[in-house]
Structure 1
Amino acid sequence: MEHLINQRVKDIEISGIRRFFNMVAGTKDMISLTIGQPDFPTPLHVKEAAKQAIDENFTSYTHNAGDIRLREAAASFVKSKYNLTYNPELEIIVTTGASEAIDIAFRTILDEGSEVILPGPVYPGYEPIIKLCGSVPVHTDISRNKFRFTADLIAEQMSDKTRCIVLPYPSNPTGVSLNLEELEKIAALVKGKDIFILADEIYSELIYDQTHHSIASLLREQTIVINGLSKSHSMTGWRIGLLFAPENLAKHILKVHQYNVTCAASVSQMAALDALTTGINDAIPMRHEYAKRRDYVYERLIQMNLDVVKPDGAFYFFIKIPDVSMNSFEFALSLVKHAGVAVVPGSAFSSYGEGYFRISFAYSMDTLKEGLDRIEKYLKGIL
């Protein structure tokens, strides 16, 4: 029956991040620096809110767009944090993780042959959905610009088929963000054109040396904002995402969401409500700890004479491979075999990631130290 499978599904692959993680998961005495999974537990008060929801039998369907109390809390959250104004009744959708939000946004705005401009390297979760929509991903090489996805690079790729520009910032895998001046130039480039901005801001609360600005504050009518609780509140498994869009767009996205999942899990919604109210600043102590880890890892990498850009946010380093005789997959396998350290090969983040590897610093300081000690020893042996 293989010949009956949708060809577009056959043509896409499992995420390179997960594929490599699964491949080496059983390796004995291995230090893994692969997954972007916060090592903090979900805050206790959030878990208690979920327990209360279960005890009170809040286990039925909610409104398709999510419980109104959660949407009101989400509106207040982005207003206080990023000065964004959205109507909780008509312009906010609670999704099953940010991944579902990306999916339903693309399926709403893309047609056969539409082009979507992406940075390269980039998180691998966009391209397969774009292709499933019959649309065309157009990558932009940002490695030549210290991984900054700026208006001049975007302009090079724009055509009369351009339907959407994806702005993931802070970025996975590079950790690089965009400042207000850069966003203003992108907004000026796109304003008034038949082009949407998909602003994936899932790491917006994990930014270290600057203030996070959303392009929605500059280009609201053309922007879809994706956010969620996974990274900011260490709630990856709760699967709560948030989508913000102007009413005339959100009403169509809601239809796709409804037929996709009906609604996000009710118990998780109550946990998210507590996270965005009682825990509105829960990300701050996590952010401080991540900043310490970032600075430590950066110093270690520089001491190893590795070519790396210091990240503005998220919890990743994207590092140039010093041994040009190996591609990124071969290098990552060699690290596992000879050093007992798992990293993510850069090729998992599009062809523009080739020649690099990614490490996550969402791990304890002890794990980071041991992993970096092993990498340093390994590099001394091959260089």
Structure 2
Amino acid sequence: MTTPPGTTFSPSLSQQVQRLRPSSTIAVTSRALEMQRMGLDVLSMAAGEPDFDTPAHVVAAAKQAIDAGKTRYTQVQGVPELREAIAAKLKRENGLDYTPEQVTVGNGGKQSLFNAFFALLDPGDEVLIPAPYWVSYPEMVRFAGGVPVAVTTRPEDGYRLDVDVLKAAITPRTKLIVLNSPGNPTGAVFPETTLRAVAQLAQQHGLTIVTDEMYEHIIYDHEHVSIARFAPEHTLTVNGASKAYAMTGWRIGYAAGPLPLIKAMNAIQGQSTSNASSVSQWAATAAITDSREFIDMARGQFQQRRDRIVAGLNALGLPTPTPDGAFYVLADTTRIHHDELEATRIILEEARVAVVPGTDFLALGRVRLSYATSLEQIDAVLERLGRL
């Protein structure tokens, strides 16, 4: 059927797309960019990425790959050398035993999570997610037909998970548990006792755990523990190159877990994006194989910044728990305004500091600040906030 001349045709969007919730941060981000284009001095504390350059040996590996002509399609699941390096890393650093066949490489950690949810969820399946949570988890779950169920954590507990609260949320429809430790936006690190208890719940109830460990190398006062050590047959471990090696734009994520699940994820990726960037894969191989010096440097810098911003925000009457990992803080802004969206607007318009409202994180009354920036900028931000 042709469209009559003079009429305007609008495609009918799928119900899935229409159910996607718009981000409450879009308006704030757009306004901050508009102010910067107007020449106004806006300090951004919104970036969710390290401010360091990608390590030189990683860049060199990418250049070598280009010069060697390694720019063609690869296996959907990633080049064998990278998957071997990932399996070796998981054994060396996490005590996990995976073969390269149990590893899949995607276009960032987000694609690995997306593939996992589509491989595991049927319509109506419930997914338990500790909150505050990264904004994409519930939207991915909904898009895959699942039902996200928030499991509340408390700032007075450092946003650590209460296993009894998690257990009470389990129903006959529960299929998955999503963990993120260290967490975005809270910086919470779940202790080994908690992880063991969650693993036991998964075993008792026949649940799968999807654990996002993207920030594992940015932990300050604890050792990272992977929950797959306690229930490997129930666990998919997701990680990537973005945060640990300052490679956000290279778009390399990976997952390791039971072989049937990995094969299903490969099938999904094979019909969507196919392989991740070939050059990025060779760069990630170098990063994962040898970056300890860079990791230690970055963690030391982040810890100094954490201590500075937490002390400063609390001194300003903006209560902020001390995070154990990642590079975010959640500050209570009810002193500025009881609504976090309005508080975010005031902070932007009057202090000219861009922050992220806690709305989509399920952190009401709070805003997220990323301290993946210099100590000088943190001091400038605290000085501006002190005027409010």
TM-score scaled to structure 2, two decimals?
Answer: 0.93
- Within 5 A, what are the aligned runs for 1:67-146? 67-88=79-100, 90-143=101-154, 145-146=157-158
Contact in 2 for aligned 1:15/1:125 (Cα 8 Å) = no
Q: CA deviation at 1:5?
A: 0.4
Aligned to 1:200: 212
Aligned to 2:69: 57
Q: CA deviation at 1:250?
A: 1.2
Contact in 1 for aligned 2:106/2:252 (Cα 8 Å) = yes
Which of 5, 11, 25 aligns to 2:19? It is 11
Aligned to 1:365: 375
Which of 22, 29, 37 aligns to 1:21? It is 29
Q: CA deviation at 1:78?
A: 1.6
Q: 2: distance between equivalents of 1:94 and 1:234? A: 17
Root mean square deviation, CA, Å: 1.5
Q: CA deviation at 1:113?
A: 0.4
Deviations 1:184-224 (Å, cap 9, x if unpaired)?
Answer: 11112221422110100000010110000010000100111
Deviations 1:247-302 (Å, cap 9, x if unpaired)?
Answer: 12211121112112111110000100110113244211100110111111111122
Q: CA deviation at 1:171?
A: 0.7
Contact in 1 for aligned 2:336/2:343 (Cα 8 Å) = no
Q: Report the CA distance shift for 1:128/1:329 in structure 2 as closer, same or farther (over 3 A).
A: same
Q: Larger deviation: 264-273 or 318-327?
A: 318-327
Q: CA deviation at 1:325?
A: 4.4
- Unaligned residue ranges in structure 2 (runs of 5+): 1-8
The residue type equivalent to 1:110 in the other structure is L
Q: Does 1:321 align with 2:338?
A: no
Q: Does 1:253 align with 2:265?
A: yes
Contact in 1 for aligned 2:318/2:335 (Cα 8 Å) = no
Q: 2: distance between equivalents of 1:272 and 1:147? A: 32
Contact in 1 for aligned 2:106/2:254 (Cα 8 Å) = yes
The residue type equivalent to 2:58 in the other structure is V
Q: 2: distance between equivalents of 1:20 and 1:229? A: 28
Q: 2: distance between equivalents of 1:17 and 1:216? A: 34
Which of 29, 39, 42 aligns to 1:30? It is 42
Deviations 1:42-80 (Å, cap 9, x if unpaired)?
Answer: 011111111111111100111111011111111111211
Q: Larger deviation: 322-331 or 106-115?
A: 322-331
Q: Report the CA distance shift for 1:15/1:224 in structure 2 as closer, same or farther (over 3 A).
A: farther
Deviations 1:122-151 (Å, cap 9, x if unpaired)?
Answer: 101111111111211111121264411231
Q: CA deviation at 1:11?
A: 2.0
Paired residue secondary structure (1:260): coil
- Unaligned residue ranges in structure 1 (runs of 5+): 379-383
Paired residue secondary structure (1:249): helix
Q: Report the CA distance shift for 1:147/1:292 in structure 2 as closer, same or farther (over 3 A).
A: same
Q: Report the CA distance shift for 1:288/1:269 in structure 2 as closer, same or farther (over 3 A).
A: same
Q: Report the CA distance shift for 1:78/1:193 in structure 2 as closer, same or farther (over 3 A).
A: same
Q: 2: distance between equivalents of 1:104 and 1:18? A: 25
Q: 2: distance between equivalents of 1:221 and 1:150? A: 23
- Within 5 A, what are the aligned runs for 1:292-307? 292-307=304-319
Q: 1: distance between equivalents of 2:135 and 2:311? A: 28
Aligned to 1:381: none
TM-score scaled to structure 1, two decimals?
Answer: 0.95
Q: Larger deviation: 361-370 or 10-19?
A: 10-19
Deviations 1:161-186 (Å, cap 9, x if unpaired)?
Answer: 00101101111001011011111111
Contact in 1 for aligned 2:317/2:335 (Cα 8 Å) = no
The residue type equivalent to 1:12 in the other structure is L
Aligned to 2:4: none
- Within 5 A, what are the aligned runs for 1:163-182? 163-182=175-194
Aligned to 1:240: 252
Q: 2: distance between equivalents of 1:280 and 1:18? A: 36
Query: Could you tell me the percent identity over the aligned residues?
Result: 34
- Aligned pairs, how many? 375
Q: CA deviation at 1:323?
A: 2.6
Q: Larger deviation: 32-41 or 144-153?
A: 144-153
Paired residue secondary structure (1:331): helix
Q: 2: distance between equivalents of 1:61 and 1:372? A: 48
Q: 2: distance between equivalents of 1:362 and 1:51? A: 27
